[in-house]
């Protein structure tokens, strides 16, 4: 990254840990180090679905107290994967209820013989709830040892910050503090700077004197240094106006479903770079930690969204839901707070924000999220009317979903520009906040063609996007700060008369092949990227200082 001629000093403490003041605990991403070993449990597991009427037969008969095959027939199930997409059993395709996984694991002898070793079982993700019976852990040989520390004065904590060339640029000791870094290299989003995203390595060594002697632990965390700020008309990264031109995604693909897959992940990032996209929203749930790490490396900016989707009825906005929603935001912020790619939190997608009860509910969730992390703006994604939205006063950025000429006025592409202009003007006049068009698009079945364009054809999707882009261009140098197409790729949904083998709004098929709209979007995104990289070609933007999030 470009280095200033004068010595710049950055306080890493507030950047890395300041946002964690309201958070306790949490688990670091597992990685190998001189003190840490990882044993992957991916592979074939024994699997059984509980098809009983109440879906609780497994608990009633205590299947967990003996090998799973003794309770009834099991099948092989790959992990990670979505079991719905693997089996030929029609009952599993849309199964909702308890399913049981089992695998016998042999651990290294030193893990169970060395009393200083702490063994932790980590489940990367589960949809949507998981229980691990402790009796199974005991039978498998997992023993969780605790090391007693005689006094806090017996701790020794050493911290080092290394640059991309593995040169130590800062040192520190103690459980908290600041690292001063001369000649800071900033983390920049993809296509916003001449060089790729810059990551430092934060190395931590903790040594403790225990009753069994000294024990040391080593951990390395990739970190990026950057600022995020919001004004009434701009989104700023490192003090420069940033325009989101990207996609909404889903963790979904053929056969593997939502199961994590490295080849698929690398393919998706190659497509994002081919497209010229610089951002995406994790619709509508936090993605795998490996995805966030790739975003850090590639400089892809993330709007990190929690699973707050489907809040459509008044009874959903109660104190029980509110308490749980706050817990979920704590989990999301705790896990992802140290990723420089994450620039904004989204607490919900399309809640019924016109309800009075929703206003208080969203106010509390947003305020709680800000207390957890004061360094990032907070939003939710709205599809409500601007005059009735009770949650909009509390967000930092307005995110809007609208599907003009698709869900209403369908076929009338000529109305889009007027409708979009009216939408933007009404929202900005009332709230005076930057706006992101967080969803727009049209269903398209690859290979369907018709001229003049008709719905579900590639021509219609392309024409709809063109009309949206004309409307976006009228406002994007004023107060519209981003556009995210729905969707990056086709994805599977429940069966319904309105879905043809899932949602077909992707610019790529579920198999990651481009539709005509992908080439249109690629041309647009690279044009916008070049304007950002070479700002002499566009009107100079004003940059307001002293923003809340700097």
- Report pLDDT for 166: 86
- Report pLDDT for 25: 60
- Report the residue count for the chain: 550
Mean pLDDT of 458-471: 98
Q: Which of 119-133, 173-187, 192-206 has the lowest mean pLDDT?
A: 173-187
- Report pLDDT for 541: 36
Look at phi and psi of residue 55 and say left if phi exceeds 0, alpha if psi is from -120 to 50, else beta.
Answer: left
Query: Measuring CA to CA, which residue among 77, 70, 74, 67 is closest to residue 51?
Result: 74
The residues that bridge with 398 in the sheet, in sequence order, are: 435
Mean pLDDT of 407-413: 95
- Report pLDDT for 538: 40
13: pLDDT strictly greater than 80: no
Instruction: Give residue-wise pLDDT tens across range 268-303.
Output: 999 999 999 999 999 999 999 999 999 999 999 999
- Report pLDDT for 345: 98
- Report pLDDT for 299: 95
Q: Which of 72-81, 491-500, 540-549 has the lowest mean pLDDT?
A: 540-549
Query: What's phi and psi for 265, nearest 5 deg?
Result: -60, -45
139: pLDDT strictly greater than 80: no
Write 112-116 long-range contacts (CB < 8 A, 24+): 112/141, 112/143, 115/145, 115/212, 116/145, 116/147, 116/210, 116/212, 116/213, 116/215
Mean pLDDT of 35-64: 94
467: pLDDT strictly greater than 70: yes
User: CB under 8 Å to 318, separation ≥6 — which residues?
Assistant: none
Residue 50 and residue 40: Cα distance in Å, rounded? 27
Mean pLDDT of 331-338: 94
Residue carrying structure tokens 């704590």 = 330
Which pTM value belongs to this model?
Answer: 0.89
Query: Measuring CA to CA, which residue among 116, 97, 118 is closest to residue 211?
Result: 116
- Report pLDDT for 417: 98
49: pLDDT strictly greater than 90: yes
User: CB under 8 Å to 103, separation ≥6 — which residues?
Assistant: 41, 43, 44, 45, 46, 79
Mean pLDDT of 12-21: 38
- Report pLDDT for 341: 97
Q: Which two tokens stand for residue 394?
A: 């509390």
Residue 305 contacts residue 281 (beta carbons within 8 Å): yes
**For the chain, what is the mean pLDDT?**
86
371: pLDDT strictly greater than 50: yes
Strand (E) or helix (H) holding 44:
strand 43-49
User: CB under 8 Å to 47, separation ≥6 — which residues?
Assistant: 74, 75, 76, 77, 83, 99, 100, 101, 102
Mean pLDDT of 214-223: 88
Query: What's phi and psi for 482, nearest 5 deg?
Result: 180, 160
User: CB under 8 Å to 366, separation ≥6 — which residues?
Assistant: 347, 378, 380, 391, 394, 395
Residues annotated as part of the active site: 350
Confidence of residue 178 (pLDDT cuts 50, 70, 90): low
175: pLDDT strictly greater than 90: no
- Fill in the DSSP letter of residue 394: G
């Amino acid at each position: 990254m470009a280095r200033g001629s004068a010595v710049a000093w950055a306080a890493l403490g507030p950047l890395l840990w300041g946002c964690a003041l309201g958070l306790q605990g949490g688990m670091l991403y597992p990685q190998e180090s001189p003190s840490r070993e990882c044993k992957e449990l991916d592979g074939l597991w024994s699997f059984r679905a509980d098809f009983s009427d109440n879906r609780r037969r497994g608990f009633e008969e205590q299947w967990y107290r003996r090998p799973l095959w003794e309770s009834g027939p099991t099948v092989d199930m790959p992990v990670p994967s979505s079991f719905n997409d693997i089996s030929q059993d029609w009952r599993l395709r849309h199964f909702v209820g308890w399913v049981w996984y089992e695998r016998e694991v042999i651990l290294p002898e030193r893990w169970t013989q060395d009393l200083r070793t702490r063994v932790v079982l980590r489940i990367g993700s589960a949809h949507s709830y998981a229980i691990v019976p402790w009796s199974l852990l005991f039978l498998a040989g997992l023993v969780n040892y605790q090391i007693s520390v005689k006094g806090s004065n017996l701790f020794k904590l050493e911290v080092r910050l290394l640059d991309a060339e593995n040169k130590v640029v800062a040192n520190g000791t103690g459980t908290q503090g600041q690292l001063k870094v001369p000649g800071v290299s900033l983390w920049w989003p993809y296509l916003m700077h001449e060089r790729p995203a810059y990551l430092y390595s934060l190395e931590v060594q903790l040594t403790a004197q225990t009753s069994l002697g000294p024990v040391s632990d080593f951990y390395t965390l990739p970190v990026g240094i950057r600022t995020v700020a919001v004004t009434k008309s701009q989104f700023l990264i490192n003090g420069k106006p940033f325009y989101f031109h990207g996609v909404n995604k889903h963790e979904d693909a053929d056969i593997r479903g939502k199961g994590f897959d490295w080849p698929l992940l690398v393919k998706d990032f190659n497509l994002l770079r081919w497209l010229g996209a610089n951002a995406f929203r994790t619709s509508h749930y936090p993605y795998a930690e490996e995805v966030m790490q790739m975003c850090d490396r590639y400089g892809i900016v993330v709007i990190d969204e929690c699973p707050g989707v489907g809040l459509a009825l008044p009874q959903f906005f109660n104190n029980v839901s509110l308490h749980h929603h706050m817990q979920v935001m704590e989990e999301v912020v705790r896990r992802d707070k140290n990723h420089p790619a994450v620039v904004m939190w989204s607490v919900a997608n399309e809640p019924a924000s016109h309800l009075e009860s929703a206003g208080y509910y969203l106010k509390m969730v947003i305020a709680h999220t800000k207390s957890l992390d004061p360094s990032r703006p907070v939003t939710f994604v709205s599809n409500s009317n601007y005059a009735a939205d009770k949650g909009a006063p509390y967000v930092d950025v307005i995110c809007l979903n609208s599907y003009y000429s698709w869900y209403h006025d369908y076929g009338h592409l000529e109305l889009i520009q007027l409708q979009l202009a009216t939408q933007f003007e009404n929202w900005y006049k009332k709230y005076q906040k930057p706006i992101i068009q967080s969803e727009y698009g049209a269903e398209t079945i690859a290979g369907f063609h018709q001229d003049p364009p008709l719905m579900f054809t590639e021509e219609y999707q392309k024409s709809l996007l063109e009309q949206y882009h004309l409307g976006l261009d009228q406002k994007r140098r004023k107060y519209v700060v981003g556009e995210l197409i729905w969707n990056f790729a086709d994805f599977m949904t429940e069966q319904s008369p309105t879905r043809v083998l899932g949602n077909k709004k992707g610019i790529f098929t579920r198999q990651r092949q481009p539709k005509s709209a992908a080439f249109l979007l690629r041309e647009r995104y690279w044009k916008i990227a070049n304007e950002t990289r070479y700002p002499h070609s566009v009107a100079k933007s004003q940059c307001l200082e002293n923003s809340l999030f700097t």
